């Protein structure tokens, strides 16, 4: 896959050469640790670059994808014929304003939770073990152990497809279970204001340690995965349905339904994206056949499989 020289020249006007990676292996950028090459991979350093690039990509009809930490993403083995815009630590600044933390979209949820602890602010402990970014977390309304982003995200700064910057308050965000108003709109998260409460550092740290212990006990953290593979069906638990359907430990190639937690599909070491996609498909079919329940994935599929 090669990018058009005119398009590359335009990109080079706004992105330093060291932040432009051509034919970049995506297994380096997803928590599944699989995926073929992206035609062009850009490490984004600020909103100014996005303001120039996104309208241009739309104009010349080049597909693009906004990437955070790649923690809910499955990229096909044949790669992605488009541009990946990574919003990572270059846009990951954190700053406290009293009981509010302003977090750049590229900050990891773990880094934001640690920063909140350092500032004696409580409310973000649930996010300390979620392997995504603030931007991805707010788009998906990430949550764990009774906490969700909608509880703390009070103001979200986004850029639309024309490069205009908007501020969305909590009501505008339309948070739902693993969704928000951003999920199906061409918005890119730039910054999130997190409203927290004062707390004792020792208690905050204790809560984070307690949740980390629960994760180690119940989740297959020893293998690459995208976390919970399936959304929780209304009235059910995905992991329990999968187990009762007899799919615990089910394997295709190097991909497997975790025996420790059936809600996780893991890469045991040599999985391909096709292996993982096959396990997901087979699990959905078996659960549908046995329980008449349609499982939806939290995982996003990108590229050619």
> Catalytic site residues?
178, 228, 298
User: What is the number of H-type helices and E-type strands within the chain?
Assistant: 8, 18
Q: What is the gyration radius of the CA atoms in the chain, in angstroms? A: 20
The answer to whether 100 and 193 are in contact (CB under 8 A) is yes
Q: Give whole-number Cα distances, 4 to 8, 11, 31, 66, 81, in Å.
A: 6, 11, 30, 20, 12
Q: What is the DSSP string of 237-258?
A: -HHHHHHHTT-TT-EETTEEE-
d(CA 24, CA 224): 20
For 24, the enclosing helix (H) or strand (E) is strand 20-25
């Amino acid at each position: 896959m090669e990018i058009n020289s005119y398009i590359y020249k335009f990109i080079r006007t706004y992105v330093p050469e060291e932040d432009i990676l051509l034919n970049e292996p995506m297994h380096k950028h997803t928590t599944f640790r699989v995926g073929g090459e992206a035609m062009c991979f850009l490490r984004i350093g600020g909103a100014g670059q996005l303001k120039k690039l996104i309208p241009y990509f739309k104009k010349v009809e080049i597909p693009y994808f906004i990437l955070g930490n790649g923690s809910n993403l499955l990229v096909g083995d044949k790669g992605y014929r488009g541009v990946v815009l990574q919003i990572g630590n270059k846009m990951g600044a954190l700053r406290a304003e009293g009981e509010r933390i302003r977090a750049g979209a590229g900050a990891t949820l773990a880094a934001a939770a640690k920063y909140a602890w350092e500032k004696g602010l409580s409310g973000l402990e649930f996010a300390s073990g979620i392997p995504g970014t603030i931007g991805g977390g707010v788009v998906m309304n990430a949550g764990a152990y009774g906490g969700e982003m909608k509880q703390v995200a009070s103001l979200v700064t986004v850029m639309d497809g024309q490069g205009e910057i908007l501020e969305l308050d909590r009501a505008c965000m339309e948070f739902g279970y693993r969704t928000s108003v951003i999920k199906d709109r061409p918005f890119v998260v730039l910054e999130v204001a997190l409203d927290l409460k004062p707390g004792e550092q020792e208690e905050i740290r204790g809560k984070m340690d307690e949740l980390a212990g629960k994760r180690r006990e119940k989740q297959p953290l020893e293998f690459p995965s995208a976390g919970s593979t399936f959304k929780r069906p209304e009235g059910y638990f995905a992991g329990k349905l999968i187990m009762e359907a007899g799919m615990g430990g089910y394997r295709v190639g190097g991909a497997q339904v975790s025996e420790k937690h059936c809600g996780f599909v893991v890469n045991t070491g040599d999985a391909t994206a096709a292996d993982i996609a096959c396990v997901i498909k087979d699990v959905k079919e078996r659960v549908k056949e046995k329980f008449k329940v349609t499982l939806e994935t939290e995982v996003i599929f990108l590229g050619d499989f």
